[in-house]
Structures are given as structure tokens and as C-alpha cells.
Amino acid sequence: MFTKTKQVIVVFSSGALLLAAAGCTGNAVPAEPTSSSSISTATATGSSSVPPTPSSPTTKPTLKPIPASSEGPGKNLPVPEMPALASEKSVGGLKAFVAHYYDLLEYTLESNDSKPVRAVTDSGCAACFEQFIDTADGNKIAGSWISGADFGPVVTRAVIEGKGGVALLTVSQGEMLVYASDGTRYASFPASTKPLPGSMFLIYAAGWKVQSIEIEEEP
């Protein structure tokens, strides 16, 4: 799934997702007062009162991440966190951001959640939307999914000029399989036989955003 070379086929069918939540409450029963006059007097003056023990907040259980497979799309996948370096306007920051962006692309294709990558993608990046964002959104509607999204970007050179930046890179890709809503394997994209050269253009405005991605076609 490289720009200018391939497109994911979106399979349209119906699907639904149900979410449920449950909670519980409890009531404390006050203790009977003692008949001792000395304790009663102390209680009245507050000299020997014992403050209540605060209740511990309920901790939500951590759901186990389930990668996309023939059984279904990825579930409970953690959104890749952007490293602090990737937010810097520097050569090192640009390189770190490129690696983070490809982590987001993997997450997007396997989870069908395009919101995180949208936040760092310029609206003018046609390849970003056609190949990744629109694909994930379409699969989410159709109930279809992709497994095996695995990219290996390596930045070979990064240049910053003014408000923009350019990264020259090579990218390898693992085999990706496309499943219809009924679990039938619908299509596949073979793994790259070698890293393919390409480029990424970015703009910096309180953080990096991708303007375009171009990857050469494999012979």
C-alpha cells in the first residue's frame, strides 16, 4: 500500500457495535453510640472523633490489545504516543515525527480509527487520505478490516527550510490482508521485497503536519 501504486478495496456491508456499562453504589450503616458518659462527652466536644477513611477510587480494568487478524479488526489497540522529540522543529524532531507518523498509519489501518492521524495530516495530502484515512473510514462503515499493517520507514536525509521540511526515506511494507465483514479474505497486498525510496513533505505550525507522501513503485 504505497502511494501512487495501490489502493485498498473497500467492502461495503452492514455492521453494528454495542457498548454497555454498569455501575454499583453502596450505603454505609452508622454505628450505635456508646452509653459511656466519658466517651459521649468526648464525642460531643469532638476531642476523640475519628475521621472517616476515604474510599479508594475504582480502577478501570486494562483491556488486552487484540491485533487485527482473520478473526476481526484490531481491538483495544493503544494509540501511538508521540515522543517529545517529534514535536520539535529540528532535524531530529522531523525524523522522529516521520517514524511516529508511520506508527499512526499502522494503527489507523488495523483499528479503522483515523482520528489520531487526521490531527497531524494536512487536508491537502491526497495520498494520505486516499490510501490510509479514507480507506480506514470506509472499512469502518462497511465492517471490513485490514491485518498485517507493518511499515518500516528509515529517514536517510531531513532538511528544514522556513516553515517546512522534507524527509527523504525508504519504506518497507509487510503483507497486508483485507477481510470482508463476514470474515472472508477479500484481497491482499504483498510484502515489499526491498525498502522503496520516497519522500515526505511537511509543514510546521505548532507541530509537524504531513503535506504529501510519495513512494516509488516497486519494479
Round to whole Å and give the CA distance between 42 and 48: 6
- Mean pLDDT for 94-99 is 98
Predicted confidence at residue 10, as pLDDT, reads 37
Predicted confidence at residue 56, as pLDDT, reads 59
Residue 96: strand, helix, or coil: helix
What is the domain partition of the chain in residue ranges? 85-214
Helix (H) or strand (E) holding 115: helix 115-118
pLDDT exceeds cutoff 90 at 94: yes
Query: Helices in the chain by DSSP H: which ranges?
Result: 37-45, 91-111, 115-118, 126-128, 134-142
pLDDT over 90, % of the chain? 66
Domain boundaries 85-214, corresponding CATH code: 3.10.450.50
Q: Is 76 left (phi over 0), alpha (psi -120 to 50) or beta?
A: left
* Summary mean pLDDT of the chain: 81
pLDDT exceeds cutoff 60 at 152: yes
